[in-house]
Every structure is written in C-alpha cells, then in structure tokens.
Amino acid sequence: MASIFTKIIQGEIPCEKIIETDSEIAFLDIMPSAAGHTLVVPKLAVKRLEDLPAKQAMSLMSTMQRVAVAVSTAFNGIDYNLILNNGINAGQEIEHVHFHILPRAKGSPGPFREHIQYAEGEMQEVGAKIRNCL
C-alpha cells in the first residue's frame, strides 16, 4: 500500500509544496512542531536512509540544504534541527524515508514535544515566505 508521502508525490493528496525536483519534494508538515516545519522526501519510496541509492541520497541532501537555508532565512536566520527518524524504534511513523527541518526559536520545546495548528490561510503564507527565500 502506498504511503501518504507517495500519495502526495503523485498529487493524490494536496500539500503546501515548498519545492519539487525530479528526485525530491519538500512541503510543510500538517502536524508541525513550529511554523515552517518542513519535510523533505525522496520520490523513490524506500523505508530507510540506507535503502536510498547513493546518487539519490546526495540529491536529497542538496535539496535539504537549500530548503533548510530558505526556512532559516524566512524566519530571520532562525536555528533549526534536521531530523531523520530512521526506523520504527527511532520514531519513524511513515515508512518512507524523510527528513524534518524544524525551526527552533530560543526557549522552544524539544522536537515533537508540542504541535501547533496553522490558522486559516497561514500555512499558505508560511509556504510562500519560504519559497520566496529559495
């Protein structure tokens, strides 16, 4: 069965897309820990990082770096975590490798401890703000 990420990649489920390349897609998390919480996902559906061919892993890292800089810049140079939960015991909930770019303001709670909800229209505003920094 296709993961939710595969359905997003195939356009079956909408997302607030930040960037899409031939090999990756980045979009805002629908259960964010902070405004700007972005996921970077390879289009190739593999469960674990080590299952991703080296060429695609390098492409994923390059896209992730671009998106991380854009997220940080969009929020005035904010710090961020890059997080990979590689396997169920590491907290991976969707069996399709993906990285979280999680903006972290001073004093913010640790990753995934809290979730926020975007107000109506706010997710699109945040997405546009990040895309403008690419």
**Catalytic (active-site) positions:** 98
Cα–Cα distance measured from residue 119 to residue 131, given in angstroms and rounded to the nearest whole number: 19
The answer to whether 100 and 38 are in contact (CB under 8 A) is yes
Cα–Cα distance measured from residue 105 to residue 37, given in angstroms and rounded to the nearest whole number: 12
Q: Treating both helix axes as pointing N-terminal to C-terminal, what angle do 122-131 and 54-74 enclose, rounded to 10 degrees?
A: 110
Neighbours of 107 (CB within 10 A): 5
The answer to whether 36 and 105 are in contact (CB under 8 A) is no
Cα–Cα distance measured from residue 70 to residue 86, given in angstroms and rounded to the nearest whole number: 24
